[in-house]
Structure 1
Amino acid sequence: MAVLNFSCIHLALLFFLYGVVYCLDGGFAKHNDKCHFRGNDELEYSEEIYFNKEMWLWYNSTTDIWKGDTTYGMEIANDLNNEPSKHVTRNILKYILCVENGERLYGYLHNYTVQPNVRLRSEEPASSRHSAMLVCSAYDFYPKTIIITWLRNGQVVTSDVSSTGELANGDWSYQIHSHLEYTPTPGEKISCRVEHYSLPEPQLYDWDPSIPTSEKSKIAIGASGLLLGLVFLLAGLRHYMKNRIGHRQDGPVSASAEQPLLTPLLM
């Protein structure tokens, strides 16, 4: 490891805005400025100074004090704390880096919304108390807060309801899954109500118990397969009849009177 020296220390403090300063002995210093936002009117400005990946000293606007983690860092922190212009300098940096940028950031995030993509489906119940379970899922929405409510014949359902809570997708968007276990009743109406900041009004999604989407897909695939099979069957039958008629025309003709009537239909 490079030997620490004051020339490198002062160089780091003088040119901290460049981020990384290389010293003659191969070491380097790094300066971090951070803005911690906790609300529109509450933020904390902090600074961290490293040398060869080791933190020397740090500052935050909450305590308004520099503190050192090494011998040299404590000496520099003591000098900075005794500077008459310390408060003015830090407040200027806090305003430029945090306040002005924070206003832009909050203005952008306040107006940035993404509507949820909602899907309502049936799954096997997790317990044996009920014979059915519905899942109402909302995908890729922003901001985080969302409310999902189950309605049964227009009445809010609170029992046998569970939720995963908002799950982060890692790209600032979220997803949530709400489960309702129930025992189906003929003629009832079950709905999933979604309320979100991006929606002008709550959205209702009604469950259609007639045929689940997965079953509809299976039926469609089965019907397509059956139709394709019939096409191949008719094509094979036509080919068979043509060959049979051709062989009889080449040999002695002993076909019945009904056979010519089938030929136009199969040609």
Structure 2
Amino acid sequence: CVLLTLGLCLCSSPPEDYVYQYKAQCYFRNGTDNVRLLWRHYYNLEETDYFDSDVGLFIAKTELGKPSADYWNSQKETLEQKRAAVDTVCRHNYPFDKPFTIDRKSQPNVKIVNTKTLDLEHENLITCFVGGFFPPLIKVTWLKNGIEEGEQVTSSELLQNGDWTFEIHVMLETTIKHGDTFTCRVEHSSLQQPVYLNWEPDVSESARNKMLTGIIGFVLGSIFIIVGLVVYLRSKKTMAHFSSVQNENLM
């Protein structure tokens, strides 16, 4: 189903502020074979009544909309015009809007980031960033060593970029062992086949970092021990010298 929306807004000036809007929505099913037109009226952002081409009449949604719906339903010329709008508005504009809506496709960009410092002993959070795609329907899956992950996967809401493209962030929280391989699989209508982006953690770097941390700790500990030993020996030597001087004075 494809939706095409047209709209108009009329506003008054103080002291009696109000906003009156109408919105025409064309729903296309199977191209132009089955078209439905909804012509909606709003007063101060609240929908009051609407015309439904499937019914052929105006329908009130609020008490305020009942007089309006009754009035428009009594206008034979207006009803004929709205019923004809399925062809004069919806089907007429379909070929002009189709290249920018139905036919428009933008392939997703995929990137994997480890959002935490790599730790082999605790949970890691790996994020698959998928952006720049259109239409918005997309499927993103995490695979660990070729097996699809489920419970440990969370996803952000679908985000609009403001340029008719979308993005989504899909996170996998998992422990990482040496030799593990992670894959972000993306399926989208703009792609002839799914995109597979692999990520292998640099376990050697993690091990080097831990080894470096251990070495630094060992060196610092050794320095403190040596300094303490030197201070102790000097203190002991000073005490021995002081005791010797006292003994000589007594003699």
Q: Matched residues in 1 for 2:131 and 2:87: separation?
A: 37
- Residues 73 and 79, structure 2, Cα contact 8 Å, conserved in 1: no
Q: Matched residues in 1 for 2:106 and 2:83: separation?
A: 36
Matches within 5 A, 1:1-267: 32=22, 34-37=24-27, 39=29, 40=31, 41-46=34-39, 48=41, 59-66=51-58, 74=67, 78=70, 80-106=72-98, 108-124=100-116, 130-210=122-202
Matched to 1:122, the amino acid is N
Gaps of 5+ in 2: 1-7, 11-19, 205-251
Gaps of 5+ in 1: 1-17, 21-29, 213-267
| 1:170, distance to aligned residue in structure 2 (A) | 3.4
- Residues 45 and 94, structure 1, Cα contact 8 Å, conserved in 2: no
Q: Matched residues in 2 for 1:106 and 1:98: separation?
A: 11
Matched to 2:25, the amino acid is C
| 1:188, distance to aligned residue in structure 2 (A) | 2.2
| 1:33, distance to aligned residue in structure 2 (A) | 5.8
Q: Matched residues in 2 for 1:57 and 1:192: separation?
A: 47
- Residues 57 and 70, structure 1, Cα contact 8 Å, conserved in 2: no
Matched to 1:44, the amino acid is L
- Residues 57 and 79, structure 2, Cα contact 8 Å, conserved in 1: no
Q: TM-score, normalised by structure 1?
A: 0.54
Tell me: CA distance 1:78–1:170, structure 2 relative to 1, closer, same or farther (3 Å). same
- Residues 52 and 59, structure 2, Cα contact 8 Å, conserved in 1: no
Q: Deviations over 1:41-66 (max 9, x none)?
A: 3432316498xx9x998644354334
In proportion to residue count, which structure has more strand? 2
- Residues 111 and 128, structure 2, Cα contact 8 Å, conserved in 1: yes
Q: Matched residues in 2 for 1:171 and 1:134: separation?
A: 27
Q: TM-score, normalised by structure 2?
A: 0.57
| 1:67, distance to aligned residue in structure 2 (A) | 6.7
Q: Deviations over 1:150-171 (max 9, x none)?
A: 1222222223111114222233
Tell me: CA distance 1:94–1:45, structure 2 relative to 1, closer, same or farther (3 Å). farther
- Residues 180 and 200, structure 2, Cα contact 8 Å, conserved in 1: no
Q: Matched residues in 1 for 2:48 and 2:158: separation?
A: 39
Q: Matched residues in 1 for 2:93 and 2:125: separation?
A: 47
Larger relative contact order, structure 1 or 2 (CA cutoff 8 Å, min sep 6) = 2
CA RMSD of aligned residues (A): 4.3
- Residues 35 and 97, structure 1, Cα contact 8 Å, conserved in 2: no
| 1:113, distance to aligned residue in structure 2 (A) | 0.9
| 1:121, distance to aligned residue in structure 2 (A) | 0.8
| 1:142, distance to aligned residue in structure 2 (A) | 0.8
Counterpart position of 1:254: none
| 1:114, distance to aligned residue in structure 2 (A) | 0.9
